[in-house]
Amino acid sequence: MSAVRKGPWNAVLRRTTRLSPSCSLLVFERPEGFPGAAPGHFVSIRVSDSTTPLLRRPYSIMDLTGSSLSLLVKAVGRGSAALRAARAGDRFDMIGPLGGVPFPAPAGPEAVLVAGGTGLAPLLFAARSWRRARLAVRTTLIYGAATGNELLRDLVKAAFGTYRFATIDGGAGFHGDVVALCRDLVSRGRMPAGTLYSCGPRGMVRALDEAAGSHFSAHYTSLEEIMACGVGACRGCTVPVRSGGERVLKAICSDGTVFSAGDILWEEWEE
């Protein structure tokens, strides 16, 4: 049996849309032969023809259709700024889809998805995939950003049945972070039970699991840590987890990106 081809692909940017002061939607033509992907899978892009930045940059797949591949890109440094400045017609050397275990489909009728910042991307892909598969699942998104003008409201409204926003500056929605909002909803009996899905900074995911994890039947999280090779070779992205009663180190890029939050040895990982 032949292995699934992961590229490199010559990906053509079809259009780019500024969504907020720091984030853009980048829609590429799906390269011919690009395999199917699941929520939690990602691509790795060479953002420059020069040696700086040298390493490819990883981005979660936000959507994949028969003809397009969409990414959400936040400018945080040189690589992401170069990507965000790209124009329609530009070509990028891309590999993917990368990643091992994706988000599983919900076991029951309720799914709560909690996103911090660009952690929204794989959760949008999840909600869209379940809808296309006609799964009978109600999705509630809880999504936070630093400020009101960084909230990607239009993307959210098109993809989720129910959504709640949180902002650190109180510019829109709940005044505080998504963890505080979740804690508040659970304490007031306003949080649906079911399966919890999350993606965001490491501290957010850990605090979320501690604050609200026990309310849900399961908590799956996609980890987006700094990566080098992206394919399981360098061991630069490992996370300690409990597996079969033992402590093992898993590579986020090739064993994940999705893990059961309750299996992550958070204290050890923080050291």
Query: Would you tell me which residues interact with ligand FES (CB under 6 A)?
Result: 227-230, 232-237, 251, 253
| Nearest-approach distance from CB 51 to ligand FAD, in angstroms | 13
228 binds, among ligand FAD, ligand FES, none (CB under 5 to 8 A by kind): ligand FES
Nearest CB to ligand FES, comparing residues 98 and 179: 98
Strand partners, 251: 238
Query: By beta-carbon distance, which residue lies closest to ligand FAD?
Result: 77
Nearer to ligand FAD, 228 or 265 (CB): 228
Query: What does the binding site for ligand FAD look like in residue numbers (CB under 6 A)?
Result: 42, 53, 57-60, 72-74, 76-80, 118, 121, 224-227, 257
Q: Which is nearer to ligand FES, 172 or 265 (CB)?
A: 265
User: Which partner from the list ligand FAD, ligand FES, none does 72 bind, CB cut-off 5 to 8 Å by kind?
Assistant: ligand FAD
Could you tell me the smallest distance in angstroms from the CB atom of residue 139 to ligand FES? 30
Dist. CA 179–CA 35, nearest whole Å: 35
Residue located via tokens 């490491």: 202
Give the one entry of ligand FES, ligand FAD, none that residue 251 binds, where binding means its C-beta sits below a cut-off of 5 to 8 angstroms depending on kind: ligand FES
Task: Find tokens 């275990």 and name the residue.
Answer: 101
Please report, to the nearest 10 degrees, the dihedral formed by the alpha carbons of residues 42, 232, 257, 242 taken in order. 180
For residue 257, the minimal CB distance to ligand FES (Å) is 10
117 neighbors 145 (Cβ within 8 angstroms): yes
Smallest distance from the beta carbon of 92 to ligand FES, in angstroms?
19
Strand runs labelled E in the chain: 9-18, 23-29, 42-46, 57-60, 63-64, 68-74, 91-98, 110-116, 138-145, 162-167, 174-175, 195-199, 218-222, 238-243, 246-251, 258-260
70 alpha-carbon distance from chain centroid: 12
